[in-house]
Chains A and B, each alone.
Chain A
């Protein structure tokens, strides 16, 4: 009996030691680095659109054939970017959508200056200005636009033709078109209010972008800092009031039960022809075609006033190329960025993805799905959505959803002003 005891103790000891041993690999893997082939520079390329992985795989293959000394690894999980910054090990080349969230990286000097790149000179200055409008680090060019997405009202060309409705050019014409569809028993606009972002990028951004000078408004608001009062001339209360009833007019033309439909529901329903119009950007087009390959789609910018000259398209820099400042592979990264901005690469990409090329000499857009926006984009008659100017810590989509459900404009404006002031207070200190 007693002979068993030492062996048990041994067992316990062994268990303890194996536990400690299990810890060792954890510390060991932190120091090991991927084996590198001699003479080949490895670039990490993080792009922000999981749906275009295949395109970039092809681009990388072509690039590597021309540049055998560089090996590019594609990563499409944008969520890794902030953690990689925290670890101080960011990817070498990054694409990001440019808005408030990215502006903060720029202002903190995360990206290198690209103004000397030869490809930087081929970019349309109007589009470059969109990127720069989010703030610059010591006047540098932190990102070069790669893809410009134009958004408006997606419409079903067949339903428009069957009801004899032309593309509206004024707010009254737009309302009249909605009435015609409603009288014909067709849902004028398909609403997906369950996903708050669809309300934000659709009804909210389109109406405010068409009635308020969004860029100027936010420039003055940011300049004001935390000392913003509700009755100040820079506040939301003083500027957004006239736009809000139009948002409610618009959302009143959606189907009953819009509040329990999400983006995926909307794509399926609109694809099946259950509504005449859909307030979505070009990213929805491929989904709609997936739902119904025979659907004839077009896009027009929402006319938010009765003066057609006021009508503008909503654009966003969907992808902009940056090189991280601390990369040890700066030269290789620059060669890769220059390659990506060659007309054959950048124009093909935008043609395939229903977007607009940022190059000065970009060919005319022939895609009928977005051709209704082409003239506006070419003339620079566009705005970046008001929603994109908000710091991500403001739950704007939820506030808009509340407003659409409760129809309380005063409360909505007071909430926005108060939330803005609180965020400004704590981020300015």
Chain B
């Protein structure tokens, strides 16, 4: 599903440049649930941004579902993001003057799905994350866990190939974290490919594979026994 070869990325900071990713190679198969771990500054967020086409790599190849991702125009990148990727952010990033259902329907709007169909689908996904009764609520009327579930529903609404989550539990207490992870695991059980950037060990162990990043290189890449979040809920 995802294939990365010899990926380099550096940032220019004034006169000196900061080499953040120093040759990353890895592959993700369909249906995997991968945790990308590392301390801050290890380059894990940069890697996720490149995977999310929010940022471009300096060199190396990135192939997503057999499509090479390189030198995309902003228009093309937007199109690919919409079609291939779903984003889940640490700070939820819901649009705060739109209701939960409208937030979920947003990616579908960009796909030019007719209004009615959009609303139906949005409700359907809200139901899957257990928030159908909150469909007309604004984000400010929801708790953190609920917001993240709306964000997950939004990420899934466009039926992307890969879900990218940047510290999805970073702003949540551990109980809600486990609830969110439980939801992510269930989505993964249905065959969706999910990548999670996290620095929390317990969250990482709820995935099926952990990739450790340190100073811009992968130092460890192992498959693990998944801990189900259900038992903590």
Check if A and B associate. Answer: no
